[in-house]
Amino acid sequence: MQNIRNQYVMLLLLPVFLTLCSGIAMASIGVVTEVSGLVELERASESFALTEGVNINAGDIVSTDNDASVQIDMDDGSMLSLGENSQIHIRDYVLREDKSVLSASVDLAVGWLRFAVAHLRSAGRYQIQMPTAVLGVRGTEGLLQVEPEDGYFSSHVVMDEGRVELAERQEKGRLLGTRIFLNAGEYAERQHDGRLLKSHQAPAWLVAAISKRMKKRLIRRSMLLKKRGVLPRKLRHSIRKNLIKRAIERKKRRVKAFKAMQSRQKFRKKLEKQRRLRKERRQRLRRQR
């Protein structure tokens, strides 16, 4: 009976053990160097609040709230800066021993993303996937926006420097469909059901919508963190666990307040009963006289 119980406990603890081991074995590919507002990291079905110094792994999903932003310095020298109400999924990020990119795939689901990708070797591949287009990057900087419209998405690309290849879709790393090349200063877009459209400059409405944070060119900040003495930080507290903990604490406070209210009501009832008894006693004494 004792052996069966021990086996049952081990089966219960096995998922936790595997999760911890996978977290330890996962190699870091970058570090969070700047955070403003509420930024959330999803990793292994857990959600965490990001702070400067937290390491980023392949497979992580980073989301920003209203008036929030985050910058990630990748180990290969590339930088990713996310604007407000945005989300990226670092789906794949494979580095060689010298920290150069062998293959990288980043998904921009919605919002704003400023990227500065380090120069790749001839065999390297770096792609940024959007809902309606795919960007093949080879050492350049630019700005992307994915805008939701009536249940659909439109993708916008503004180039600052370098040259990129934009395609309608990709399959197993290969760019497919209509493809165009964008140089510094050029702009391209694609609606959910339209063609790739290229222009020599971004439209005025898009330029007006770009925040000051997204207009700034990226500066590598990992050295600044080291100078400030910010050591690599671990993810210690889960947002969901904290929410559950706070909910339990609120419930305890409500229960305590309810019990206090009940005790006060009982006390009041007791006082009212004593007053009623005293009043009835006085009335009996008056009638006896």
Domain ranges of the chain: 28-236, 238-289
> Each residue of 254-282: pLDDT tens digit?
777 777 777 777 778 888 888 888 888 88
Judge whether residue 170 has pLDDT over 60: yes
Per CATH, the number for 28-236 is 2.60.120.1440
pLDDT greater than 50 at residue 98? yes
Alpha helices in the chain (DSSP H): 2-25, 204-209, 212-215, 222-227, 239-288
Q: Which amino acid is at 109?
A: A
Whether the CB-CB separation of 134 and 167 falls below 8 Å is answered with yes
Q: Measuring CA to CA, which residue among 81, 52, 50, 13 is closest to residue 226?
A: 52
| Residues 198-224, mean pLDDT to the nearest whole number | 83
What is the band of 157 on the pLDDT scale with cuts at 50, 70, 90? Answer: very high
- Report the amino acid identity of residue 88: I
The residue type found at 74 is M
Among the listed residues 216, 210, 155, the one whose alpha carbon sits nearest the alpha carbon of residue 187:
155
b/e sequence 227-238, b meaning 16+ C-beta within 10 Å: eeeeeeeebeee
Q: What is the pTM of this model?
A: 0.68
Of 103 and 8, the one with more pLDDT: 103
Whole-angstrom distance, CA of residue 61 vs CA of residue 116:
19
For residues 153-182, average pLDDT: 83
pLDDT at 5: 47
The DSSP symbol for 238 reads: B
pLDDT at 18: 39
* 159 has a pLDDT exceeding 80: yes
Pull the structure tokens for residue 248: 């339990």
User: Following DSSP, what letter does each residue of 246-257 receive, concatenated?
Assistant: HHHHHHHHHHHH
What is the tens place of the pLDDT at every residue in 22-38? 343 467 889 998 999 88
pLDDT for position 63? 92
- Cα 130 to Cα 109: distance, rounded to the nearest angstrom: 6
Amino acid at 184: A
What pLDDT is stored for residue 239 in this prediction?
A: 54
